[in-house]
A and B are shown apart, each in its own frame.
Chain A
Amino acid sequence: MSQSERMIDIAGVHKTFVADHGTVTALEPVTITIKQGEFISIVGPSGCGKSTLLRLISGLDHASGGTITLDTAGRKRPVGFVFQEPVLLPWKTILENVRFPLDTAGVSRAEADKVALDLIKMVGLVGFEKALPRQLSGGMRQRAAIARSLSDDPPILLMDEPFSAVDLMTRDTLNDELLRIWQSTGKTILLVTHSVDEAAYLADRVMVMTARPGKLKCVHDVDLSRPRGEDTKLDPAYHALVAQLRRDLRTPGVVHGERAH
């Protein structure tokens, strides 16, 4: 891998915090290099540190040790973040919400409107520019949140279980739209999910994490052709990978003596 292709370099990053009864390890040292334009899924049970890892990369939390290097050339906002909930500002219209990162970065109104309207079109919310978030369904709100995270064009998009609050049918649609957006924008995407199907369907590589303590167990390459669609879900290789991911999550892969120190 050449130097310029590396987008995210994670080296020995770990996270502990102090609780009443001593130190708790939220994340054991993780080392991985993510290439530019790669789509990574992170899958694991609750408490495996997958959200923690995302928060560390985004700068929302600080690591207890190790380094995270982003190859984003000193950009003020290297990452876009899509939260589990849409986190739209309820007093702003959809257009204003999508435009928010641009407005707060001093971009002119005309230019911001142009970018925001394009994104609203891309996520399929044309006609709802003037609507308030409360007037939209959960899936539509999450689309608006995705549009917002893309509006100031961050090279990296971090998504923390973005579709966990929407119904299954909507989720399938949103997954396909996400793939389309990824292909047209060339973003580096890290998506946290607890659905192995979703993880395998979307990603180039799947990071499998296990809980107590949270750690990266293994990384699988996903050798499924692009673009993906309904055919992918019929591919035996897809089913083999999903089954493998399930096995990874079920079998405890940790040598238990390791925790004794």
Chain B
Amino acid sequence: MILRGIAGLIATLVLWTAIVYLFDVPAFLLPGPVEVFNRIVFLFENAKLTRHIWVTLSEIVAGFVFGTAAGIFAGVVFARFPRAERFATPLILLLQTAPKIAIAPLLLLWLGIGPTPKIVLIAIVTFFPVMSGMVTGLRYGEGSFRDLATVLKLSPWQRFRHIELPSALPSVLAGMAVATTLAMTAAVIGELIGANEGLGYLLSSGQENSDTSVVIGMVILLSLIGWAFYEVIELIRRRSLGRFQLS
């Protein structure tokens, strides 16, 4: 599986190089892999690339954590009080259907150019799939667990900690896996619209300077980060199935 994946990557790199050389594509349109690699190394050495990666990563992690926590909380509230869900649904749908690229400038206007608007945007996109995963998990969780909780007179916190969260965990993690891709996109959008650091910022400055190597390099870096992010959540999700999936 991994071997085949690596073979696919190498094949792509070979094809890429071949196209550049065979068709003599000018570097400002499509630089070869080696050039892009050198450019990335150059950025590491001279443009504090590590710092930019750190900025973007921390925005993603912070936004993802906030969005997930809010999604789980809202899921519990909505499952427990359907009236609250009916009340909040229009607002949530509006937030969800509004193109993120349209919300981003607003957040920047309100929250400035720092990491805060990016974190908020990432939290917004993470919230929805996690919340619906939590609601689904709680709704379709076994009713007999509710009886058990009632007979044992569990407190709301005990119910959540011992029954609701574990039984909803598989669908919450499925929601989180979906949210990883959305979170990556939101981070880049936020940084493209206005930032002075981060991978999205490097991407847009590469575009302004017609530095195709930087643009491609950032695209590759962002893809790798997004991929790793997704795989981490997927791994946790698959690990949890053995224990947490309801039979």
Mutual binders A and B:
yes
A132 and B166 alpha carbons, distance in the complex (Å): 14
In the complex the two chains form, is B162's CB within 8 Å of A90's CB?
no
Interface size band for B: 20 to 34
Chain A neighbourhood of B162, CB < 8 A: 89, 100, 104
Besides the known contacts A83-B148, A90-B246, 12 further A-B residue pairs in the complex with CB atoms under 8 A apart: A59-B150, A60-B147, A77-B152, A77-B153, A85-B144, A87-B144, A87-B147, A89-B145, A89-B166, A90-B243, A91-B169, A91-B243
In the complex the two chains form, is A104's CB within 8 Å of B166's CB?
no
Is A79 part of the binding interface, using a Cβ–Cβ cutoff of 8 Å?
yes
- When C-beta atoms are compared, the residue in chain A nearest to B166 turns out to be A91
A90 and B145 alpha carbons, distance in the complex (Å): 11
In the complex the two chains form, is B151's CB within 8 Å of A58's CB?
yes
Chain A neighbourhood of B145, CB < 8 A: 87, 89
Can you identify 6 A-B contacts, CB atoms within 8 angstroms?
A: A87-B142, A87-B148, A90-B246, A90-B247, A100-B162, A104-B152
Chain A neighbourhood of B150, CB < 8 A: 59-60
Is B50 part of the binding interface, using a Cβ–Cβ cutoff of 8 Å?
no
Knowing A58-B151, A60-B151, say if A83 contacts B144 (CB, 8 Å).
Answer: yes
Interface residue ranges of A28-79 to B (CB < 8 Å): 58-60, 76-77, 79
Is B163 part of the binding interface, using a Cβ–Cβ cutoff of 8 Å?
yes
Secondary structure dominating the interface of B? helix
Nearest chain B CB to A165's CB is how many angstroms away? Answer: 12
In the complex the two chains form, is B166's CB within 8 Å of A79's CB?
no
Is B245 part of the binding interface, using a Cβ–Cβ cutoff of 8 Å?
yes
Nearest chain B CB to A157's CB is how many angstroms away? Answer: 11
In the complex the two chains form, is B148's CB within 8 Å of A91's CB?
no
Is B207 part of the binding interface, using a Cβ–Cβ cutoff of 8 Å?
no
A168 and B151 alpha carbons, distance in the complex (Å): 28
Chain B neighbourhood of A60, CB < 8 A: 147, 150-151
Is A109 part of the binding interface, using a Cβ–Cβ cutoff of 8 Å?
no
- When C-beta atoms are compared, the residue in chain A nearest to B158 turns out to be A104
Instruction: Name the one of B142, B144, B152, B163 contacting A101, with C-beta atoms under 8 angstroms.
Output: B152
A100 and B154 alpha carbons, distance in the complex (Å): 11
Knowing A90-B243, A100-B162, say if A77 contacts B151 (CB, 8 Å).
Answer: yes
Chain A neighbourhood of B147, CB < 8 A: 60, 81, 83, 87
Is A134 part of the binding interface, using a Cβ–Cβ cutoff of 8 Å?
yes
A79 and B147 alpha carbons, distance in the complex (Å): 13
A58 and B163 alpha carbons, distance in the complex (Å): 20
Nearest chain B CB to A190's CB is how many angstroms away? Answer: 14
Interface residue ranges of B157-188 to A (CB < 8 Å): 158, 162-163, 166, 169
In the complex the two chains form, is A81's CB within 8 Å of B158's CB?
no
Nearest chain B CB to A5's CB is how many angstroms away? Answer: 25
In the complex the two chains form, is A79's CB within 8 Å of B151's CB?
yes
Is B244 part of the binding interface, using a Cβ–Cβ cutoff of 8 Å?
yes
Nearest chain B CB to A75's CB is how many angstroms away? Answer: 10
In the complex the two chains form, is A104's CB within 8 Å of B148's CB?
no
A85 and B247 alpha carbons, distance in the complex (Å): 12
In the complex the two chains form, is A76's CB within 8 Å of B245's CB?
no
Nearest chain B CB to A118's CB is how many angstroms away? Answer: 20
A81 and B146 alpha carbons, distance in the complex (Å): 13
Interface residue ranges of B230-247 to A (CB < 8 Å): 243-247
